[in-house]
Amino acid sequence: MSEILEQSWNKPYRIESSIDDLRNTKDPIIIYALTDEAEAIANACKEKGIHITAFCDNEIRKTEKMYWGLEVIFTPNLLKKFPRARFIIAHQSLDDCAEQLSDFGYSDFYSPTNILKDYNVKNYSYLISESYMQNKINNIIKINELYFDKSKTYVRSVDVVITTKCSMNCESCANLMQYYVNAKNTDEAVLEAVKKLSENVDHISEYRVIGGEPLMNKKWAEITNGIIDQDPTRTVYVYTNATICPPEDKLKSFNGKNIHFFITDYDELSRNMSKTVEALEKNNVPYKIRPAGNWVDCSRIREHHRSNEQLKQIFKECCAKELFTLISGKFFTCPFIANAAELKAIPDNKADYVDLLSGEPNIRKKLARLIHKKTFFPACDFCDGRPHAPESAKEYTGRGLIKAAKQIPMNTKLPFQELNNKN
């Protein structure tokens, strides 16, 4: 099992899948990214005699306590403790992870594919549900396999915006909901757009039904069912803030389908958390709860007039550049560009998106070009930056980490400059 999983195109690094190398090395072995599946990777490594030294992650809040009995190191601090190490990448964005570590001077990176292939989720208990973990494992194996096939176009997730209405009014929402004066449902032809996207991309691991707060769209369950019915092998997640308890009849319609809930916990703001959890458990709908933590300050829309080199740096450090977003039939690389365009707060530039419902030819080629793009988009100049680690980002112009979900009055919307192809 010493196969080298190396891409055929030029890269400053390579990624291996050698279990023997990991088992026999004397170097520290670190699992990169404290994802849900990192726990399963650690278990599988133990089964195979691979000694894990530590975890690392770009979110500093995840480094404040031990995980799996091991230290979690803030990634920018790795070199201080481990000048040499090998890394198992537990994240679906292999290029971003390997590139960051390569910039630090590391060169030994490993895919978890072979480690996980014969892993049995039933042998362990987890912080998330067993079915949730199985989905995560299936997805990371599939993404790793596709990564090494240049001919394939795939995405790990697509955010499907079905409403810009929200039951909260966060001053610094990264998805820019605080600017929508005329918030509305955006479900018109959404299933047609999803179908068009699925037909023109080789693999999509998961769809995420989002808003605003998606449950404010009365058709949220029908849309969710419509997405999963197009491809039952795919996973669909409903992202909610637990302010609205999902009705039981809606949840019953998910029975036997690969539909999960992802709940962000905003403490007292998530006023229906207990009712939501109770309803999900009663109807056997898998879910995960994640504390809101702190946010990266990145919610302002303003033109920066950056140089190309500055824009490349902003894009390189961005944690949202593969949070592909579908809104009003258009496919964008990230939620900032998607919502800024929807708000008409940035110039309309076709280089920023693919219009799935335009009837234009070569949709597959256009999607592939956007998905594989490894440099900035025109709209990036209007973003303050959204780095994994704002403390160490070079061109970031925000204020760092800020308290999540600071509320402004519900009838208040923040002003912004609407652009019509001019400043």
**163 and 107 belong to one structural domain:** no
Q: What is the CATH number of the domain that holds 116?
A: 3.40.50.720
Instruction: For residue 131, tell me if it sits in a domain.
Output: yes
**85 and 181 belong to one structural domain:** no
Domain boundary among 83, 118, 144: 144
Closest CA to 206 of 244, 129, 261: 261
Residue 113, SS3? helix
Residue ranges with strand state E in 303-367: 324-327, 330-332, 353-355
Residues spanned by the domain of 70: 4-144
For β-strands 259-265 and 235-240, DSSP reports them as parallel
Helix axes 94-104, 130-147, angle to 10 degrees: 70
Q: What is the CATH number of the domain that holds 350?
A: 3.20.20.70
**316 and 285 belong to one structural domain:** yes
**Greatest CA span in the chain, whole angstroms?**
62
Dist. CA 165–CA 181, nearest whole Å: 10
Instruction: For residue 122, tell me if it sits in a domain.
Output: yes
User: For residue 383, what are the β-bridge partners?
Assistant: 301
What does the DSSP 8-state code read for residue 387? B
Closest CA to 260 of 136, 361, 411: 136
Instruction: For residue 409, tell me if it sits in a domain.
Output: no
Q: Is residue 7 over pLDDT 80?
A: no
Say if residue 332 is exposed, middle or buried (CB neighbours under 10 Å; 0-12, 13-18, 19+).
Answer: buried
Residue ranges with strand state E in 212-285: 235-240, 259-265
Q: What does the pLDDT look like over 390-419, one tens digit per residue?
A: 988 999 999 999 999 999 999 899 988 765
The distance from CA 373 to its chain's CA centroid, rounded to whole angstroms, is 17
Q: What does the pLDDT look like over 325-368, one tens digit per residue?
A: 999 999 999 999 999 999 999 999 999 999 999 998 999 999 99
The dihedral over CA atoms of 77, 80, 83, 88, expressed in degrees to the nearest 10, equals: -30
Q: Which two tokens stand for residue 338?
A: 């998607």
Instruction: For residue 415, tell me if it sits in a domain.
Output: no
Dist. CA 386–CA 304, nearest whole Å: 14
For β-strands 4-5 and 259-265, DSSP reports them as unpaired
- Kindly state the helix (H) or strand (E) to which residue 401 belongs, with its residue range: strand 401-403
On whether the CB atoms of residues 295 and 357 are closer than 8 A, the answer is: no
**53 and 165 belong to one structural domain:** no
Bin 299: left if φ > 0, else alpha if -120 < ψ < 50, else beta. alpha
Q: What does the pLDDT look like over 20-67, one tens digit per residue?
A: 999 999 999 999 999 999 999 999 999 999 999 999 999 888 887 899
Closest CA to 245 of 275, 213, 208: 275
**313 and 356 belong to one structural domain:** yes
For β-strands 4-5 and 15-16, DSSP reports them as antiparallel
pLDDT at 258: 94
**89 and 210 belong to one structural domain:** no
**161 and 112 belong to one structural domain:** no
**126 and 197 belong to one structural domain:** no
Which of the pair, 149 or 408, is modelled with greater confidence?
408
Q: Is residue 318 over pLDDT 60?
A: yes
275-281: list long-range contacts, CB under 8 Å, 24+ apart: 275/245, 276/240, 276/242, 276/244, 276/245, 276/246, 277/242, 279/245, 279/246, 279/248, 279/251, 280/246, 280/251
**81 and 117 belong to one structural domain:** yes
Instruction: For residue 39, tell me if it sits in a domain.
Output: yes
Dist. CA 214–CA 204, nearest whole Å: 21
pLDDT at 13: 64
Q: What does the pLDDT look like over 91-140, one tens digit per residue?
A: 988 888 999 999 999 999 999 999 998 999 999 999 888 988 999 999 99
**314 and 270 belong to one structural domain:** yes
The total number of structural domains in the chain stands at 2
CB neighbour list of residue 340: distance below 8 Å, 6 or more residues apart? 176, 301, 346, 379, 382, 383
Instruction: For residue 42, tell me if it sits in a domain.
Output: yes
**118 and 228 belong to one structural domain:** no
**35 and 132 belong to one structural domain:** yes
Domain boundary among 144, 164, 195: 144
Instruction: For residue 423, tell me if it sits in a domain.
Output: no
Instruction: For residue 420, tell me if it sits in a domain.
Output: no
This prediction's pTM: 0.92
